[in-house]
C-alpha cells in the first residue's frame, strides 16, 4: 500500500510540487528517494499514483503516472456542528469526524460556550484533517468552517437540511433520526451543545427551525463523544443503506 501525500492542486498535469510540509514528510520522515512511487490526493476527491522525480531542500516534485478512479458520492452532505471541546479533545473530534466521512464541521458559539477557537487553532485542526485523510484513505477533506453563532447556524441550516439536535430532553434517537433525515434533503446536519447543553431558548429556536431534538441515551456524554455518536447515526441512516 502506497504512502499518501496531500497536494492542493490539479492532478491533471504531468508533474506537481508537494507543499513544503508534505515534501519534508516525504523526504525527511519517510525517507523516500527519486523513483519511489506514492499516492497523492488533492483534497476535493481526486487521487493519483505518482513517482518521485526530484528532491530538494523541503521540495519534492512528483510525476503523475495515472489517475485513480474517483469514488462515487453517495447520500447527502453530512454537517456536524458542535461547541468546541476543551484542550486536545477538539482534535480528537475532528479526526474521528473525518474518518467517518462527515463533510463539514461547524464550531458553534452558544450561550454556554466556553471555548472560542481563534484562526490559529482552526488552522491546526485543518492539519489534523489532512493527517486523518491520509490514514483513512479519504480523498476529500472535511471542511472546517468559521465559528458560527447558534442563531446564524439555524438561519443557514433550517429548512434546507434534515437537522437533529442532541439534548437529553429529546425523543429517543432510535425513534427519530431515520424518520427525520429521510426524504429529499440534499444535506443532513447534527448539532451538539457545550458542557451544560443548550439553553431552553436555544432548543425552542431549533424546534422552530424544524429540527428534531433527540436524546442519545441515559448517560451524560461529553461534547466530542456526543458529536461522534450522532455523526455515526447520521452516516448509517443516510449512507449505510
Q: Write the CA distances from 100 to 5, 39, 129, 191, 240, integer angstroms.
A: 20, 21, 12, 16, 12
Q: Report pTM.
A: 0.92
Residue ranges of alpha helices (H) inside 83-218 are 89-100, 119-136, 150-157, 173-181, 200-208
The domains located in the chain, with CATH, are: 4-67 (2.40.240.20), 77-239 (3.40.1280.10)
The Cα–Cα gap between 63 and 13 comes to 9
The whole-chain average pLDDT of the chain stands at 91
CA-wise closest residue to 150 among 189, 103, 187, 113: 113
CA angle 31–35–40, rounded 5-degree value = 75
Is 74 or 154 the better-scoring residue by pLDDT?
154
CA-wise closest residue to 189 among 210, 209, 163: 163
pLDDT in tens, 126-181: 999 999 999 999 999 999 999 999 999 999 887 677 899 999 999 888 767 767 66
Q: Is the pLDDT of residue 185 over 80?
A: no
- How many CB atoms are closer than 10 A to CB 79? 24
Element (H, E) at 20: helix 20-24
Decide: 148 and 110 in contact? Cβ < 8 Å: no
The Cα–Cα gap between 197 and 235 comes to 23
Amino acid at each position: 500500500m502506497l504512502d499518501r501525500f496531500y497536494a492542493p492542486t490539479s492532478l491533471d498535469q504531468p508533474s506537481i510540487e508537494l507543499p513544503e510540509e508534505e515534501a519534508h514528510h516525504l523526504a525527511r520522515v519517510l525517507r523516500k528517494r527519486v523513483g519511489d512511487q506514492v499516492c497523492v490526493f488533492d483534497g476535493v476527491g481526486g487521487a493519483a499514483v505518482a513517482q518521485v522525480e526530484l528532491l530538494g531542500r523541503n521540495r519534492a516534485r512528483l510525476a503523475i503516472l495515472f489517475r485513480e478512479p474517483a469514488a462515487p458520492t453517495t447520500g447527502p452532505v453530512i454537517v456536524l456542528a458542535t461547541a468546541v471541546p476543551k484542550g486536545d479533545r477538539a482534535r480528537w473530534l475532528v479526526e474521528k469526524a473525518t474518518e467517518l466521512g462527515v463533510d463539514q464541521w461547524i464550531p458553534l458559539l452558544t450561550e454556554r460556550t466556553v471555548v472560542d477557537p481563534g484562526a490559529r487553532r482552526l488552522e491546526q485542526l485543518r492539519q489534523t484533517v489532512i493527517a486523518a485523510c491520509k490514514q483513512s484513505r479519504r480523498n476529500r477533506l472535511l471542511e472546517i468552517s468559521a465559528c458560527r453563532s447558534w442563531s446564524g447556524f439555524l438561519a443557514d441550516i433550517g429548512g434546507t437540511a434534515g437537522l437533529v439536535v442532541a439534548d437529553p430532553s429529546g425523543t429517543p434517537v432510535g425513534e427519530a433520526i431515520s424518520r427525520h433525515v429521510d426524504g429529499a434533503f440534499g444535506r443532513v446536519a447534527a448539532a451538539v451543545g457545550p458542557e451544560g447543553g443548550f439553553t431552553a431558548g436555544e432548543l425552542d429556536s431549533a424546534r422552530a427551525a424544524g429540527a428534531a431534538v433527540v436524546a442519545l441515551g441515559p448517560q451524560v456524554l461529553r461534547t466530542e463523544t456526543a458529536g461522534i455518536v450522532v455523526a455515526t447515526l447520521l452516516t448509517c441512516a443516510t449512507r449505510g443503506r
